[in-house]
Amino acid sequence: MPESDFITAQLTPEPADWRRKAVQALIACGTMLALFVLLIFGLTIERLWLFVGLIVVVVAVAIFYQRSRGMRGKLEQAFRTSRASVLILLIALLAAYPLILSRDPYLIHIGALSAIYVIMALGLNITLGFAGLLDIGFAVYYGAGAYMSAQLAINFGVSFWLGLLLGGLTAAFFGFLVAWPALRVHDHYLGLVTLGYGLMMNLLARNLAFLTNGTDGVINIPPPAIGTHAFTEPLSLGPLTLPFQANFYYLAVTLALITAFISYRLRQSSLGRAWDAIREDEIAARCAGVDARGVKVLAFSTGAFFGGIGGAIYAHMIGFIGPENFTFLESITILVMVVMGGAGNIAGVAVGAIILVVLPERFREFEHLRLLFFGIALVLLMINRPEGIFPRTRTRRLLPANKLAAALPHAQKSLSPAAPMQAR
């Protein structure tokens, strides 16, 4: 293609067709709404066999969707072009969730729990999805944040909000602690180091009774409060009174949205690019000026910070924290949320976390079979979709045409002399 054609093609603005945009926004928002209704439906169905039927239908639709390229392209395009409306609808639906289910405190609790796990999975997504560092000891940070904020609140009367922050920072420190020595090793070996770290820390939590109260755990953790409104009191919104679980729900969902926003910002930044680079080829990245060690430690600590935030909310919501809350299995669960949802894809990881909270809750009757189903689902998914349900989007950001135009004076200058420059 001649250069001039290419540049004209880049600079011609797409026709501002509001009707097409409106249709796309409608498609995207409609899909969203349908998924939400499906979720509510799935949560409230009484009979288990109906729920299983629903899952089968959803999986079938998902497989059909994956096979049909045209449909996939259209839907992806719709979501891309109408980001703002999708976001507004998402916030509205999240806000409406406790209102719709105001008679069912348990489901609001599940919602809050999902949001907590979304926070933690998004944290691990920074370490694993963005920077490509395998961390199989993520529950350590969960525990660090939970113990720190709980003990501060019980022993020193520190408010939840300060405790939340300090819990996050403590967790970040624990991330830093393992990152510094562990980053001498790579890939699977890094996984093994963090695995050992997780097991070790769990054992320490069981035995350092003066810090953690040993296997008895920490009980009677005071609930958070805003002013005089304690989170254990029902939430009254004008004429409507919601069960107290809604307090925690709104808290966790708000923090989850903030976490998602920060994740998005990180991904868009030069730091996110540096993480991409070390994930792709560390040697080349170092030669290109990326402080590999520095950005890796940053990825570990930032991820751990959100693990700690999740842990702190959990501790104050349940009111109890013990070593059994952050075992090896917990680390694996968070890891699977990230890998199953799609490492590196913020929305995918959030969906992965929600699925892995909701499904086990629905199948409580079959708790003894949980790991079996879990394993089967994971094996099937990894065979068919190794990059997760929502794979990472490859071309992360498209430089818009006006960026090209900004560089164009130079571009044209060097494009015009077709004759190669003479060597010497």
Q: Check residue 408 and report its DSSP letter.
A: H
Residue 276 found at the interface with another protein (CB under 8 A): yes
**CB contact at 8 A, 184 and 125:** no
Residue 13 found at the interface with another protein (CB under 8 A): no
Q: Which of 265, 324, 371, 379 binds another protein (CB under 8 A)?
A: 265
Q: Which of 291, 366, 372, 382 binds another protein (CB under 8 A)?
A: 291
Q: Which of 35, 185, 288, 382 binds another protein (CB under 8 A)?
A: 288
How far is it, in rounded angstroms, from Cα 177 to Cα 187? Answer: 18
* Token duo for residue 281: 């080829």
Q: How many CB atoms are located within 10 Å of the residue 168 CB? A: 25
Least separation, in Å, of the C-beta of 44 and another protein? 38
Q: Which of 34, 209, 284, 382 binds another protein (CB under 8 A)?
A: 284
Least separation, in Å, of the C-beta of 283 and another protein? 6
Q: Which of 17, 76, 281, 324 binds another protein (CB under 8 A)?
A: 281
Pick 13 or 227: Cβ nearer another protein: 13
How far is it, in rounded angstroms, from Cα 167 to Cα 152? Answer: 9
Q: Which of 21, 206, 273, 362 binds another protein (CB under 8 A)?
A: 273
Least separation, in Å, of the C-beta of 270 and another protein? 4
Number of residues that bind another protein (CB under 8 A): 51
Q: Which of 287, 367, 383, 386 binds another protein (CB under 8 A)?
A: 287
**CB contact at 8 A, 75 and 27:** yes
Nearest residue to 83 (alpha-carbon basis) of 387, 397, 306, 388: 397
226 forms beta bridges with 229
Q: Which of residues 161-190 bind another protein (CB under 8 A)?
A: none
**CB contact at 8 A, 127 and 135:** yes
Least separation, in Å, of the C-beta of 279 and another protein? 9
**CB contact at 8 A, 339 and 145:** no
Cα 7 to chain centroid, rounded: 38
Helix (H, G, I), strand (E, B) or coil at 291: coil
Q: How many CB atoms are located within 10 Å of the residue 177 CB? A: 17
Least separation, in Å, of the C-beta of 215 and another protein? 37
Dihedral sign (CA 94, 100, 102, 106): negative
Q: Which of 193, 218, 277, 317 binds another protein (CB under 8 A)?
A: 277
Least separation, in Å, of the C-beta of 74 and another protein? 21
Q: Which of 27, 100, 199, 415 binds another protein (CB under 8 A)?
A: 415
Pick 17 or 280: Cβ nearer another protein: 280
Q: Which of 108, 271, 312, 338 binds another protein (CB under 8 A)?
A: 271
**CB contact at 8 A, 315 and 221:** yes
Least separation, in Å, of the C-beta of 397 and another protein? 8
Residue 406 found at the interface with another protein (CB under 8 A): yes
Q: Which of residues 48-107 bind another protein (CB under 8 A)?
A: none
* Identity of residue 353: A
How far is it, in rounded angstroms, from Cα 268 to Cα 128? Answer: 16
Residue 289 found at the interface with another protein (CB under 8 A): yes
Q: Which stretch binds another protein (CB under 8 A): 133-141, 325-333, 383-391, 402-410?
A: 402-410
Label residue 100 exposed, middle or buried (CB < 10 Å: 0-12, 13-18, 19+). Answer: middle
| Residue 140 φ/ψ, nearest 5 degrees | -55, -45
| Residue 241 φ/ψ, nearest 5 degrees | -120, 125
Which residues contribute to the site for another protein (CB under 8 A)? 1-3, 6, 262, 265-266, 268-274, 276-277, 280-281, 283-293, 295, 298, 302, 394-396, 398-399, 403-404, 406-407, 410-411, 414-415, 418, 420-424
